Amino acid sequence: MPLVAVHAHNERERIDRILGWLDAGENLALVSDAGTPLVSDPGSRVVVAVAERGHDVVPIPGPSAVLAALVASGLPSDRFLFLGFPERKGKGRQALLDRIASSQESVVLFESPHRLVALLERLAEACGPERRVSVARELTKVYEEFTRGTLAEVAAYYRERPPKGEVTVVVAPAEIPTSTPDLEAEAIRTAGELIRDGMKPSAAAKELSNRLGLARNDAYRIVHDLEGNTNDE
């Protein structure tokens, strides 16, 4: 049986050929250059088509950066959410950041080393700078590295030391504050001071998030509500 490449640009075209081989009684293996097939790699269309045709699909799990990064992250691993590579810009990226900010599970992401610092900075804005994170680099290779800390700390680390190689990010789940009423009251007082000082709402929300470690969504909500009440008076 020949070795045939299946990638993002030809996967749909290869399906008929693959089904023809299987219908003729051949056994095929779908393999990946690194890690487990379908995990941020092509192959899902092939698996769906093969299963729908009635052929057996037998998984033989391979190495996975998702699980390797998670189990060594030092973050909760009993439940987790894998979101692959984040959107680079636009509403899709913001929606993903908001989803991570409110997630009650650890979130695992892949990212290019060239975009890692930007991602960590945006996560710090969305989740609050004190949210815990683990960045795994070059897993199972000679220069394997884990960097753990808050989003602010790890972003600062990689600003000084631009990363190389493959990167997997694990973000801690959102914590439910034990003193929510007190924190909310402090946030409202602080937001009022920032607005009275003439700070624009977006800048006030960012400052509020940085000062109190609030998720960006919560900071924006508090500033927006306070501004609305002020305008009504």
In this prediction, residue 179 carries a pLDDT of 44
- Say whether pTM exceeds 0.85: no
**Which amino acid, residue 123?**
L
Tens of pLDDT, residues 155-185: 999 999 999 999 999 999 997 654 466 788 8
User: Two tokens at 93?
Assistant: 């990226």
Of the CATH numbers 3.40.50.10490, 2.60.40.10, 3.30.950.10, 3.40.50.2300, which one belongs to the domain with range 65-171? Answer: 3.30.950.10
In which residue ranges of the chain is pLDDT below 50?
A: 178-179, 232-233
In this prediction, residue 229 carries a pLDDT of 65
Domain-wise residue ranges, the chain: 1-63, 65-171, 180-232
Instruction: Check: CB of residue 108 under 8 Å from CB of residue 68.
Output: no
Task: Specify the 3-state DSSP secondary structure of 191.
Answer: helix
Q: What is the DSSP letter of 141?
A: S
Instruction: Check: CB of residue 133 under 8 Å from CB of residue 151.
Output: yes
Instruction: Check: CB of residue 82 under 8 Å from CB of residue 95.
Output: no
CA distance 161 to 158: 5
Q: Tell me how far the alpha carbon of residue 11 is from its chain's centroid.
A: 26
